[in-house]
Amino acid sequence: MKVFLTYKNQSFRKNMSKNNEANRKKNKKQIDQKKRKIQNAEAERKARLKQIREDFKAKEADNKL
């Protein structure tokens, strides 16, 4: 009986490692998507701030004249 349980245990670990590999790939893909989303949001935010600064500088220049 002990041999049977040991065999099952090893078999289970092998299947788990395959499953973990699949989960790792899926999780990595999700993490990469989140990183891309964050980077895109950061780029949009910086572009918006740059536009606001330029508009403010133009408005200040018009007020000085």
Give the model confidence (pLDDT) of 13-49 as tens digits.
Answer: 555 566 788 888 999 999 999 999 999 999 999 999 9
Report the pLDDT value the prediction gives residue 63, as an integer from 0 to 100.
Answer: 85
Report the pLDDT value the prediction gives residue 64, as an integer from 0 to 100.
Answer: 78
DSSP for residue 12: H
Dihedral sign (CA 24, 26, 30, 36): positive
Burial of 47 (0-12, 13-18, 19+ CB in 10 A): exposed
Burial of 58 (0-12, 13-18, 19+ CB in 10 A): exposed
